[in-house]
């Protein structure tokens, strides 16, 4: 087969832009030419470009002129404007999670604790609609970079569901660690909320995806979320929180613990936890309880490899696993962390969509369902956990 060449550009030059680039280097079904990067933080963007031998573009339009596809690796509040700019120019857009959200009214004293979450829901849905409309009018497509969908354990579960016709009765899962590195993450006005959206979106979207797979296998119709009940807490902002230095605690206005209970339109359920208060490295897992099997997806940590290191300094130059607090003693050292996380698989799949029109497993409609569920969950938190119907995203 003659491989197509796709010219691509990265928007953003921080943490996610780095793992997107590493994944791009591994794409094999398509020739990818990474043309350049554009980032608001110019020194960071220039350093990113220089390190990789690509061009730095001072503005987004100039980058769009030079490429077929862009990777949106900017903070959530910039996902909509950057993605829509790309779609209007008929580019393929690979957008990081969460797709979009509500980023406040622009007022200086904006504080997430005081926001009417119904207003947030309506604004987030309006943003989703603008993005979906831009996609409909574009020759490009909006691809949603939810790596949990492409994590090998979740894709193996997709295969099991498709081949056994299983009915998923209950999914539970979690994404947690001891606090995001990002400065923006502390502010709901930049990220659209707290941990419920920032981390909860991952296991939630994997659960929505697997119910979608179940429905499309059975009769072609996805099973969709019907209602959600949720609670959030801000544990590290409690006056009584005793800081021992292991957990990030400088959040301005976000929730750092969340629990969502989702009921699907077939009456089955999912429970999703997300938090920033868990020590011992990243805790990302999903358990599927079906009528004919049970699956535990240990995305991170997992026991593909375990190391025992008697002295911290032995492993000074060794990367062990994400956000582990110490390298001494036993550790679930990850031999290929990006692979278990699904980053290279998602990028490979998206370039097959871009180059050859293959269907995308993580598309804009799945992303829209995730946003509709997440902001309905925030409405529920305002009602102390009462069930809230999830509108169509």
User: How many residues sit in the footprint of ligand NAD (CB under 6 A)?
Assistant: 23
Rounded Cα–Cα distance for residues 97 and 343 (Å): 13
Q: Do residues 58 and 9 lie in contact, with contact meaning Cβ atoms separated by under 8 Å?
A: no
User: CA–CA separation, 56 vs 13, rounded Å?
Assistant: 10
Q: Which stretch binds ligand NAD (CB under 6 A): 7-15, 120-128, 224-232, 302-310?
A: 7-15
Q: What's the farthest any 2 CA atoms get from each other in the chain?
A: 63
370: contact with ligand NAD by CB under 6 A:
no
Q: How far is CA 298 from CA 150, 232, 361, in A?
A: 13, 24, 20
90 vs 365: CA distance, rounded Å: 19
Spatial CA neighbour of 237 closest among 249, 226, 224: 249
Q: Nearest residue to ligand NAD, using CB? A: 14
- How far apart CA 336 and CA 290 sit, in angstroms, is 29
Compute the least distance from the CB of residue 82 to ligand NAD, in Å: 6
By CB under 6 A, residue 99 contacts ligand NAD:
no
**By CB under 6 A, is residue 205 in contact with ligand NAD?**
no
Q: CB–CB of 250/217 below 8 Å?
A: no
Cβ nearer to ligand NAD, comparing 92 with 144: 144
Ramachandran sector of residue 29 (left: φ over 0; alpha: ψ -120 to 50; beta: rest): alpha
Decide: is 14 part of the binding site for ligand NAD (CB under 6 A): yes
Cα gap 129→14, rounded to integer Å:
28
Q: Segment contacting ligand NAD (CB under 6 A): 72-80, 124-132, 272-280, 358-366?
A: 72-80
Interacting span for ligand NAD (CB under 6 A) from 39-47, 205-213, 234-242, 268-276: 39-47
Q: How would you classify the pairing of strands 388-389 and 92-96?
A: unpaired
> Under DSSP, is residue 211 helix (H, G, I), strand (E, B) or coil?
helix
Pick the stretch among 13-21, 117-125, 156-164, 384-392 that binds ligand NAD (CB under 6 A).
13-21
The Cα 50–Cα 111 span in angstroms is 38
Looking at beta carbons only, is 171 or 195 nearer to ligand NAD? Answer: 195
Write the binding mask 230 to 249 for ligand NAD: x where contact by CB under 6 A, - elsewhere: --------------------
Shortest distance in whole angstroms from residue 195 CB to ligand NAD: 12
Instruction: Write down the least CB distance from residue 17 to ligand NAD, Å.
Output: 6
State which residue, 131 or 168, has the beta carbon closest to ligand NAD: 131
Q: Is 97 in the site for ligand NAD (CB under 6 A)?
A: yes
Nearer to ligand NAD, 182 or 309 (CB): 182
Q: Which of 6, 34, 35, 39 binds ligand NAD (CB under 6 A)?
A: 39
**Looking at 8, 9, 12, 367, which residue binds ligand NAD (CB under 6 A)?**
12
Is 131 a residue that touches ligand NAD (CB under 6 A)?
Answer: no
229 versus 341: smaller Cβ distance to ligand NAD = 341
* Alpha-carbon distances, residue 124 vs 128, 207, 232, 261 (angstroms): 6, 21, 19, 20
Q: Which of 105, 98, 99 is nearest to 120 (CA)?
A: 105
Question: Which residues of this chain interact with ligand NAD, rule CB under 6 A?
Answer: 11-17, 38-41, 44, 73-76, 78, 82, 96-97, 147, 182, 184
């Amino acid at each position: 087969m003659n491989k197509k060449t796709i010219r691509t550009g990265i928007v953003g030059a921080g943490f996610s832009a780095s793992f997107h680039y590493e994944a791009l280097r591994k794409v094999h079904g398509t020739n990818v030419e990474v043309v350049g990067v554009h980032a608001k933080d110019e020194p960071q963007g220039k350093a990113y470009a220089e390190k990789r031998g690509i061009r730095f573009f001072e503005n987004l339009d100039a980058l769009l002129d030079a490429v077929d596809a862009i990777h949106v690796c900017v903070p959530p509040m910039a996902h909509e404007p950057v993605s829509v700019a790309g779609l209007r120019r008929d580019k393929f857009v690979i957008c990081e999670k969460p797709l979009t959200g509500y980023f406040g009214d622009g007022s200086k004293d904006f504080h997430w604790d005081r926001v009417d979450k119904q207003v947030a829901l309506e604004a987030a849905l309006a943003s989703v609609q603008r993005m979906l409309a831009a996609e409909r009018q574009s020759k490009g497509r909006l691809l949603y970079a939810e790596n949990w969908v492409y994590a090998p354990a979740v894709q193996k579960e997709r295969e099991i569901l498709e081949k056994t016709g299983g009915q998923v009765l209950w999914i539970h899962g979690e994404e947690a660690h001891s606090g995001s590195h990002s400065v923006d993450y502390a502010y709901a006005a930049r990220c659209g909320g707290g941990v419920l959206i920032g981390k909860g979106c991952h296991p939630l979207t994997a659960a929505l995806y697997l119910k979608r797979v179940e429905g499309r296998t059975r009769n072609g119709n996805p099973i969709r979320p019907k209602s959600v009940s949720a609670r959030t807490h801000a544990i590290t902002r409690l006056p009584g929180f005793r800081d021992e230095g292991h957990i990030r605690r400088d959040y301005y206005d976000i929730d750092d613990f969340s629990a969502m209970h989702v009921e699907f339109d077939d009456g089955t359920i999912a429970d999703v936890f997300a938090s920033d208060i868990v020590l011992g490295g990243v805790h990302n897992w999903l358990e599927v309880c079906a009528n004919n099997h049970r699956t535990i997806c240990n995305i991170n940590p997992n026991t593909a490899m375990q190391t025992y290191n008697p002295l911290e300094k032995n492993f000074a130059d060794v990367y062990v696993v994400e956000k582990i607090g110490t390298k001494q003693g036993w550790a679930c050292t990850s031999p290929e962390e990006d692979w278990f996380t699904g980053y290279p698989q998602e990028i490979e799949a998206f370039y097959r969509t871009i180059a050859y029109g293959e269907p995308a497993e993580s598309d804009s409609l799945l992303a829209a369902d995730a946003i509709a569920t997440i902001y309905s969950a925030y409405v529920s938190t305002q009602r102390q956990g009462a069930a809230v119907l999830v509108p169509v995203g």
